[in-house]
Structures are given as C-alpha cells and as structure tokens.
Chains A and B, each alone.
Chain A
Amino acid sequence: MSRHRTRMIRAALAAVAAVGLAVGALPMSGAGASVRHQSSGAKCPLGALKRAKGPVEITMWHSMPRANEATLQKLTDKFNASQDKVQVTLLNTITYEDTLQKYVAGLSTGDLPDLVQIGDGDTQQMIDTQSVLPAQACVKADHYDLSGHLKRVIDYYTIQKTLWPMPFNVSGPVLYYDKTKFKSAGLDPEQPPATLDAITADSKQIVDRGVAPAGFGLKTEPGNLEQWLAKAGELYVNQGNGRKGRATTSLFDNRTGREVYAWMKDIVDRGLAVTNPDRGGSIYDNLLGIGNGTHVMTIETSASLGTITDVLGSGAYPDIDLGVGPMPGPSGNGGVNVDGAALWIVKKSAPAKQAAAWEFAKFLNTAESQATWAAGTGYVPIVTAAADSPAVQELWARIPGYKVAYDQLLSGPSNLATAGPIIGDYAGVQTAVRESWQRMLSEGTSPRAAAKAGAEAADAAMQEYNARVGG
C-alpha cells in the first residue's frame, strides 16, 4: 500500500523534474548540443569583475538550517566588509531538494541566483542543466591552487578532470555508540566494531548480557550502501562510477552488495538490530535510541554530532558516554566518500557576477573561513590548513568525534570507487534501494532477490533519466 503511494509520489516528482529538465535543456538541444562535459569552451570572466565600476551585487541560495546559517551569515558579512568589489546577499531556500526545485523552475524564467549550494547527490543533474560555469574554468584562469584541499573532496566533485562546483560543506558517516553500555556488556569501549560482522557480534553480546534490548540502530539510509561499496573499494555504478561517461547500470548487486543485504537481513531477523526509516518523523530514532537505551550503536552523519553532544550533555542522559568511531563496513581496500553540498557558479548571470561568485566561493574555501565554518557547524574542514587552526583543534579536543570524520576522509586510496558515484537520477536510485530493503526487512524477500530487484529498479530509474536528458 505505502509502496504504491511512494511510487505514485515518485512518478509525480519525476514528471515535475522532467518538465523542468525539458524546459531547461530545450534551448541546448535546439543548438544541437548534447555534449556533457563542455567545460573546455567555458571561460571564467575574471576580467569583467576587474573592469566593473562600483560593487557587483550577487545572490547566493543556500539550505543551511538556523545554527549553520548564522555561521554562514557571519562569513558573508566578513567577506562583504573585507572588500568593496563584491556584495553578497544570502537567500535561504530551505532544503537541498527545494533549492534544486526552485533552481530548475528558475531556468525557464531566469529567476536564478549567481551562486547556489546544491546537495552532493544532485551533481549530475546540475551539470545536465547546462547552466553552470565549472569551477575548473576559474581554477585555471585564476591559477588557483587546489593542493591544499582534501583529495577525497576534490575527487568527488571532479568529473573527467573538471571540477564542477567549489566544495563547501562536507560531512561523512560515522559510528555512534555508548561507551558505558559497551563496558557493561564486557566490550572494550575504545574498540568499536570496524566491520559489519563485528557489529553483529557486539550486538549479540549486548543482547545476551541484557544490557539493551538490541545492539544496533539500523537506519535504512540508501547512502550507506554507497559508502559500504566505496569502503570495499568497489564501484556503485558503471562507467567508473559515472565518472568516465554517463552511468547506465548499477553495480551493487555484486558480492559486496549482497553481503550487505544479507548482513542487514540477518541482524534484523535475529532481533539484534532495530530499524528506522530515513525519511519522515522517525529519522532521528536511531540516535535517540542510544539515549533511551533501546540500542547501543548506530551509523549516522557526522553533521549530527554537535546536536547529539548538546542533547546528551544537557543532563537528561547522565549515564551515556558517547563514543564515535569510523564507519564500519565490509572488508576491502577503500574509503568513505563525501556527503554534504557544494557551490555552483551560475553561467546565466552577467560575466562580472560569475567572477564575483567565484571570488566568494574562493573566500569560503580559505583556511580561515573553513576553520570558522568547521568550528561553527561541525562540518569537516576541507582544507588541511584549516584543520591545523586553533579553532578546529579546540573543537576536536572538546568533541573528538569530529576528528574521526576528518581522518576517515584521509584514509584509504584515491580512486574512482572512493570518489563516489555520480548518478543523474540519484533520488530514483536511492528510492530503488530503499524499497528493496523495505521488501527484504518487512515482507521476507530473500537478500539475494532483494539486491537483484533493487539493482533492476535502480537501472530502470537511471535509464529513464538518461533517455529524458538525451545522454
């Protein structure tokens, strides 16, 4: 029943997206261009800003909630006050999803920002709007040095040697666990599980010793499947994770993917894990469950760490000692890829405004800005110099969990698997995975069949999208 409704909603959304994309893509198809990476032709108009008389005013759309918005506003005010060439106005467009929707709608009316913050999953869709200036053009024109950035971050947003957006806010999945309950269960509180099997073993010990009703809080977050494949050093979609050409099929119905599916099924069926959905009102239940003692471990984004620390430290949970560890995963030689969002320069703006947008994006990537940003929000600092700053060091000393998320992005090799997948219909693939998990966990589909069905649904979504945008 609910699956049916989800599909209806998805179909409706797809229709909206299709209309938006068609409108956005039409002028280009008229010009006979279905080229995907036309960065070589794009020029970064640095000169236009130099020639501009008086301050150039630009608008940036962002989706930062209240506390983070305050830090972003502080940085923006600082930038505006620091020079008289560029003046930036922020507009909060609420969520990543809403921002993309407003952006796509704006393609047909021209009501667009000059710089826009877009969630990592929508990278391919943004490229497909053919309305953005690749940051690479400005990197080249401005002789900007990217070597101070975390390699994994640059890897994610670089496709065929073109850095598309400027990175900005980065987070990653980590393991949260309660050290006190680890001790009660006879587990080493400094040795959180590093593999999926270890999660199961530790959960069993926790349940057997009667420490908690379950060991693990499993949020059915499809992004975790991407991370697990990356950790195993394997591709999630073909064409080198969509980085050598447009991805057409998923690859997660492989040994590692099936291992993940089987692990999930097993730990839930044995009552060692409780699940909660990744959308709707229960999205924090995996975190709250640690506080309430229904389970002891969970995997969640590092972006939640500040809030969790505040809530747990408020005195309502005196007996919880929160530990943070790297995301456990299947065996293999890989590493997690980045979550978060990045800054896109809009090509439809006047040349001076494009250059002004680049200036501001550059400002947000300085070591000083990134230190302020990381200390104020808990996002991972994306330039190594920021990590050495006193503000960040002080944060890490106070809440060591933040360092876990940072270190995790430095470990493992740098390749197409750890760069992460780039998928046109990212949301559609996520839905496919989510639904296959639902069927497996609540309707008794076997892991093998669920992985296969999930992969097939993901392929269908990708191919439908590709057909629509003519790739």
Chain B
Amino acid sequence: MTLDAPAVAGTPRAISSTALETRMAGHRGRTWGHVGRYALLSVLAFVVLFPLYITVVNSLLTPEQIASRPPTFFPTNPDWSTYSRAWTNGHFGQYMLNSFVVTTIIVAGQLVTAILAGYAFAFLDFPFKRTLFVAFLATLMVPFEVTIIQNLTTVTNLGLYNTYAGLAVPFLATGFGAFLMRQAFLGVPQDLMDAASLDGYGHWRFMVRVAVPLARPAVAALGVFAFLTAWNQYLWPLLVTKDDEFRTVQIGLKQLRNTSIDQVNVTFAGVVIAVIPLVVLLLVFQKQLVRGLTAGAVKG
C-alpha cells in the first residue's frame, strides 16, 4: 500500500503532467502558428506599405539624395519645406477644395442612384426588368474614354462647362453601383419583406428602414469606391475646366510631376498631401469595407 501510494499519487500527477504537456504542446504549436502567421502578415504589410513609406521619405530628402545610389531610407535632415512648396506650386488650396466639393457630390449622387436602382432590380417587378438590367451591365463594358467626347459636348451644351456641376454630372449614376446594390439587396430575406408589408411598410419605408441598413457594408464599399475614383480623376477635370477656379487636385499633382528632376522631392510631397484624404477615409471605413468585400463570399 505504501508502495502504491506514490504510484497512486503519481498517477494523477503523471496524468496531469501529460495533459499539461499536451496542452502546452498544443499551446506551443498555436504560438508558433501565430508567430508564423504574424511573420507572413508583417512581410506582406511591409511589401504593401513600403512604397508609401518611401514616398514620405523621398518627400523629405533633397533631389540629390533621391538620385544617389544606394538609396536613402531614413531621412537624417528632413526638409519639411517641400510640403509648403508643393501646396503652393500645386495650387492645392483651391484644388483640394474643388476636389472635396466634386467628390462629395459624386459620392452622394452615386449612393442615391445606386440604392434606388439596385432596390428596383431586387424587389420590384416591372416590364423588361431583365433587359434593362443587362443594359445596365453592358455600360460596364464601355470605357469612359469612348464616351468622353460625347459627354463633353453634352455638358457644354447644358452650359455646365467649367462648373462643379459639369465636373460631377457624368458620374452621378453608374451601372456598377446599381449592380453592387442589387446583389446586396438580393441577400435580404424575402420573409423580412413579407413581415414588413404585414406591418404596413411600403417600398420606401422598407428600403430606408430595413434594406439599406442590412446592406450597409455594400453601401460603405460603394461610397469608398466612388470616393476613390472621383478623387483620382484627371482627364475629365482637365477637359471640362478652363481656369484654376474649378481644377481638381490630380491636375495640381500632374503639374508638379511634369517638372524637372530638381523638384522630385516636391512632387513626392504633393503625392503625400493628395493621398491623405484617402488614407483617412480608408481608416474610418475599414470595418465596413472588409465586411463589404466578404459580404457575398458565403451565400446566406
């Protein structure tokens, strides 16, 4: 018995130590898994962030430092004056304001038209619905360059040349937006529609109170996408404006870019300034965007 005691005492100890070891081994395995995953993510993040980083670095260097090899990765004597020069030379004061106004109009317009059209395609029955939807999709195949001259003629004939309205009007509705919102609305269960109509909801109230809130990730994704495209426009604003009053930020940026190599640091500073609104926007809407991207991944 006395001999048994240690054995008995030892057994649970042995068991528990084995279990602990197993647990620890599992934990260790998971830890290593985490380490591996984070290492991989760090590498990928580095690859993605490096161009941004080097842009910021270059904006603080002298042109000679940018040109020299091996390249400088850490600015020892940052020259912040490039930012004020970029701001003045690229007319960013006026151009940024214009870009904000135009981009806001375009984003608002696209959201309204896309939600209304997407809702109609998802929930309403009307003649030629399929044909119309295909026609909407077909517009996705037409590059903007093909319609640009016609759009310019139309906008000029409407008397909108060199105005905010002229800058925004061709982009207020897109086939892509209608398509995206239709797909999001198709994910809203029919039962909800039935329940809502029992409660006396019409289409308008159902859309505003139920469908749109449920499709929030898609709305956010569309909003950010519209913002990105509108903010980055170059050719259209160049064609439809005739003075500094209505020019947008990308024109200022290209003006900075179209210069000699003794100004490259200023160009980089201009890029950083122009990209700040986009970065802020992405940070704010990060969550909705990720959900928006995966929203259609699994059929619910």
Tell whether A and B belong to one assembly.
yes
Contact A311 B152 (CB under 8 A): no
User: In the complex, A98 Cα to B239 Cα: how many Å?
Assistant: 9
Q: Mark B61-72, 1 if CB is under 8 A from A, else 0.
A: 011110111000
Contact A95 B261 (CB under 8 A): no
Number of A-B contacts (CB under 8 A): 92
| Interface-side segment among A11-19, A141-149, A215-223, A391-399 | A11-19
User: In the complex, A106 Cα to B156 Cα: how many Å?
Assistant: 10
Q: Which residues of A contact B259 (CB under 8 A)?
A: 65-67
Q: Mark B56-86, 1 if CB is under 8 A from A, else 0.
A: 0000001111011100000000000000000
**Known A-B contacts A65-B258, A101-B235; A314 and B64 likewise in contact (beta carbons under 8 Å):** yes
**Known A-B contacts A111-B242, A317-B64; A94 and B146 likewise in contact (beta carbons under 8 Å):** no
Q: Which DSSP category, helix, strand, loop or mixed, fits chain A's interface?
A: helix
Contact A109 B153 (CB under 8 A): yes
A108: contacting residue among B63, B89, B149, B260, CB under 8 A: B149
**Known A-B contacts A66-B263, A67-B260, A307-B260; A19 and B67 likewise in contact (beta carbons under 8 Å):** no
Contact B149 A15 (CB under 8 A): no
Contact A15 B260 (CB under 8 A): no
A-B CB proximity, top 7 nearest: A316-B64, A307-B260, A109-B156, A65-B259, A288-B67, A105-B239, A292-B69
Q: Give min CB distance, A297 to chain B, whole Å.
A: 18
Q: Tell me whether B243 is interfacial, beta carbon within 8 Å.
A: yes
Sample of 11 A–B contacts (CB below 8 Å):
A12-B145, A23-B149, A65-B258, A94-B238, A94-B255, A95-B254, A284-B67, A291-B68, A311-B67, A315-B64, A316-B64
Q: Tell me whether A407 is interfacial, beta carbon within 8 Å.
A: no
Q: Can you name 4 extra interface pairs (CB under 8 A) apart from A94-B251, A307-B261?
A: A15-B145, A15-B146, A66-B256, A94-B254
Q: Give min CB distance, A224 to chain B, whole Å.
A: 20
Q: Tell me whether B262 is interfacial, beta carbon within 8 Å.
A: yes
User: In the complex, A101 Cα to B69 Cα: how many Å?
Assistant: 37
User: In the complex, A19 Cα to B148 Cα: how many Å?
Assistant: 10
Contact B255 A311 (CB under 8 A): no
Interface size on A, residues (CB 8 A): 40
Contact A102 B238 (CB under 8 A): yes
Which residue of the partner chain B has the closest CB to A104? Answer: B149
B152: contacting residue among A67, A108, A291, CB under 8 A: A108
Q: Mark A87-125, 1 if CB is under 8 A from B, else 0.
A: 000011111001001100110111100000000000000
Q: Give min CB distance, A275 to chain B, whole Å.
A: 17
Residues of A293-316 contacting chain B, CB below 8 A: 294, 304, 306-307, 310-311, 314-316
User: In the complex, A288 Cα to B68 Cα: how many Å?
Assistant: 8
Contact A102 B239 (CB under 8 A): yes
Q: Which residues of B contact A16 (CB under 8 A)?
A: 145-146, 148
Which residue of the partner chain A has the closest CB to B66? Answer: A288
Contact B262 A310 (CB under 8 A): yes
User: In the complex, A94 Cα to B149 Cα: how many Å?
Assistant: 19
Q: Tell me whether A240 is interfacial, beta carbon within 8 Å.
A: no
Q: Give min CB distance, B71 to chain A, whole Å.
A: 11
Which residue of the partner chain B has the closest CB to A283? Answer: B261
Q: Which residues of B contact A306 (CB under 8 A)?
A: 260
Q: Tell me whether B176 is interfacial, beta carbon within 8 Å.
A: no
User: In the complex, A110 Cα to B67 Cα: how many Å?
Assistant: 44
B258: contacting residue among A19, A63, A106, CB under 8 A: A63
Q: Tell me whether B143 is interfacial, beta carbon within 8 Å.
A: yes
Q: Which residues of A contact B242 (CB under 8 A)?
A: 59, 91, 111
Q: Which residues of A contact B69 (CB under 8 A)?
A: 292, 294
User: In the complex, A106 Cα to B238 Cα: how many Å?
Assistant: 11
Contact A111 B156 (CB under 8 A): yes
Q: Which residues of A contact B89 (CB under 8 A)?
A: 66
Contact B153 A91 (CB under 8 A): no
Q: Tell me whether B161 is interfacial, beta carbon within 8 Å.
A: yes
B161: contacting residue among A93, A111, A294, CB under 8 A: A111
Contact A12 B251 (CB under 8 A): no
User: In the complex, A111 Cα to B259 Cα: how many Å?
Assistant: 26
A19: contacting residue among B63, B68, B146, B262, CB under 8 A: B146
Q: Give min CB distance, B292 to chain A, whole Å.
A: 29
**Known A-B contacts A67-B260, A311-B64; A20 and B238 likewise in contact (beta carbons under 8 Å):** no
Q: Which residues of A contact B68 (CB under 8 A)?
A: 291-292, 316
Q: Give min CB distance, A106 to chain B, whole Å.
A: 8
Q: Give min CB distance, A52 to chain B, whole Å.
A: 22
B149: contacting residue among A20, A63, A95, A304, CB under 8 A: A20
Q: Which residues of A contact B63 (CB under 8 A)?
A: 311, 314
Q: Which residues of B contact A310 (CB under 8 A)?
A: 262
Contact A95 B67 (CB under 8 A): no
Q: Mark B213-245, 1 if CB is under 8 A from A, else 0.
A: 000000000000000000000010011001100
Which residue of the partner chain B has the closest CB to A109? Answer: B156
Contact A307 B238 (CB under 8 A): no
Contact A109 B238 (CB under 8 A): no
